[in-house]
Amino acid sequence: MTQQGAVLQGYNNELVKCIEDLCMQKEELNKQIQQAEEEKNKLQHEIQVLSEQLECVCENLAQKVASRNELDKILAETEAAYMKILDSSRTLLNVLKKEVGSLRHSADLKTN
């Protein structure tokens, strides 16, 4: 019976050692889980901050694009109006040259 008690004691010691090893593995796994959760929370916070920054940049970009489009429209209208002014100036110059030419021609005829 003493021998059986010793075998049983050996099994018990081995069982206790296995349980202790499992407990240590669990503690290590709990530490890893906690670190992973902290990293996850940190990344989620960074994502939220970056998302907010992205939203601000997108809004700013949209405003700038709208302003540029408005400036493009104003510029196109201004260039078109300027071209009309140039055309009118050319026409006025041609009319003025004809009038001056007619006046000279009339003055030449009167002096002859």
pLDDT in tens, 45-98: 999 999 999 999 999 999 999 999 999 999 999 999 999 999 999 999 999 999
Q: Per the confidence metrics, is the pTM higher than 0.85?
A: no
Give the pLDDT confidence score for residue 105 in this predicted structure. 78
Q: For residues 22 and 28, what is the distance between their CA atoms, to the nearest angstrom?
A: 10
Radius of gyration of the chain (CA): 47
- Cα distance between residue 75 and residue 108, in whole Å: 48
At position 46, the amino acid (one-letter code) is: E
Measured in degrees and rounded to the nearest 5, phi and psi for residue 80 equal -65, -45
Band of residue 104 on the pLDDT scale cut at 50, 70, 90: confident
pLDDT reported for residue 15: 97
> How many CB atoms within 10 Å of residue 82?
10
